[in-house]
Amino acid sequence: MGLLFAKLMTVFGDREHKVIIVGLDNAGKTTILYQFLTKEAVQTTPTIGSNVEEISVKKTRFLVWDIGGQDSLRATWNSYYCNTEIIIMVVDSTDRERLTLNKEELHRMLAHEDLQNASVLVLANKQDMKNSMTAAEISQSLTLSSLNARSWHVQACCALTGEGYPLYSPSKMNPLCGRCNRVVYPTEKVNCLDKFWHKGCFSCEVCKMTLNMKNYKGFEKRPYCNAHYPKTSFTSVADTPENLRLKQQSKMQSQVLYKEEFEKSKGKGFSVVADTPEMQRIKKTQDQISNIKYHEEFERSRMGGEAPPHHPQTPQQHTTPVQSLVNMFQKRFRAVYDYTAADEDEVSFLDGDVIMDVQQIDEGWMYGRVERTGQQGMLPANYVEAI
């Protein structure tokens, strides 16, 4: 509902408005009245009958009646109802035993025909006491939510200090605690996490250990100790079409993958060829010829240069693909420089070494076997010459 007085000051204008302050005895009604007037706490005695004062707020004037709350005087409250526009009911927030009586008196008063259009302001007084109830608890106990057709508001306050008064200067008001929602006075105030706290209320949300400015950790503007600080985790990302497209694009642009593919293909001139049955047959034949040639050279060197007996074959009219592969592997080269292998797939050799089983890969690289060491691998074409 907001602060009723703040609204009424802009609605009612310059004319005088009648206000009654009611409540049970010892609730603090007279102290609140003179706190409005003098902005300080005054010594009071139990009201016998009533007190009346005029309060001016800007251009609006309020004629305020403070009515005694003793049991014998509550029966006379109805004599003050005529022309009343605002009802201020003061409730002792520490008096839990008489909350039901407060509720009965309030609803009996609101049922009177002279108060059908009156607005209600409930002041939950004595908030400076540790055992006091909050404004929400008092609102629930008085069932204020049932007043659907009437303007009402409940406000926590302290009559001795003026804290929480609708007409009190905001610059003089102390803030409410971020945990217990009660007034925080300067001597016990902790300002942290965009809130004000009592020193005793500034504690861990889990274990309730009292914290200070040196050992607290904040999470979502709530204090935690180091042991119970919430552990954050990564959020999952949905595989939406847009996210999948961005993921694929990032993968294509990855320099790491480009470097990996480059290192794999470095020095190799082979093009990607489909693994058809025909290509598998040619590859198998090539491997067999390579092993035959290797053993032929090995036998020749073991027997002192004598080649194994040659079995003549029936001459053929044309050269087969297999014979072409044999002629290619019989080509020999001699190294004209020393070379040290730079990669695992390369082979080292010295000046004068014979390179056998040579296969031309591209203009810059060849594949062959060093006769002296028996090692096979890649070698630069400009380091050798044909024999």
44 labelled ligand-binding: no
Find tokens 């609204």 and name the residue: 7
Q: Are 58 and 9 in contact (CB under 8 A)?
A: yes
Structure tokens at 319: 């050269």
CA atoms within 13 A on the CB side of 34: 12
What's the Cα-to-Cα distance from 159 to each of 50, 61, 128, 237, rounded to whole Å?
18, 21, 9, 55
User: CA-CA distance, 110 to 120, in Å (whole number)?
Assistant: 9
27 labelled ligand-binding: yes
User: CA-CA distance, 232 to 276, in Å (whole number)?
Assistant: 54
126 labelled ligand-binding: yes
Q: Are 349 and 312 in contact (CB under 8 A)?
A: no
374 labelled ligand-binding: no
DSSP annotation of 152 reads E
124 labelled ligand-binding: no
Distance of CA 325 to the CA centre of its chain: 67
Q: What strands lie across the sheet with 84-92, from one edge to the other?
A: 50-57, 60-67, 16-22, 84-92, 119-125, 152-156
Reference 71, options 28, 93, 44, 101; nearest CA is 101
The residue type of 55 is I
200 labelled ligand-binding: no
114 labelled ligand-binding: no
384 contact partners, CB below 8 Å, separation of at least 6: 333, 334, 335, 336, 355, 358, 366
Reference 299, options 308, 312, 309, 291; nearest CA is 308
The residue annotated as part of the active site, out of 35, 43, 70, 249, is 70
Structure tokens at 18: 């009648």
The residue type of 324 is S
352 labelled ligand-binding: no
User: CA-CA distance, 26 to 175, in Å (whole number)?
Assistant: 26
User: CA-CA distance, 335 to 226, in Å (whole number)?
Assistant: 71
319 labelled ligand-binding: no
User: CA-CA distance, 92 to 138, in Å (whole number)?
Assistant: 10
Asked about 70 being catalytic, the answer comes back as yes
What are the backbone angles phi and psi of residue 161, rounded to the nearest 5°? -110, -15
131 labelled ligand-binding: no
Q: What are the binding residues for Mg(2+)?
A: 30, 47
Binding residues for GTP: 23-30, 69, 125-128
Q: Which amino acids are annotated as binding site, given as ranges?
A: 23-30, 47, 69, 125-128
Return the active site residues. Answer: 70
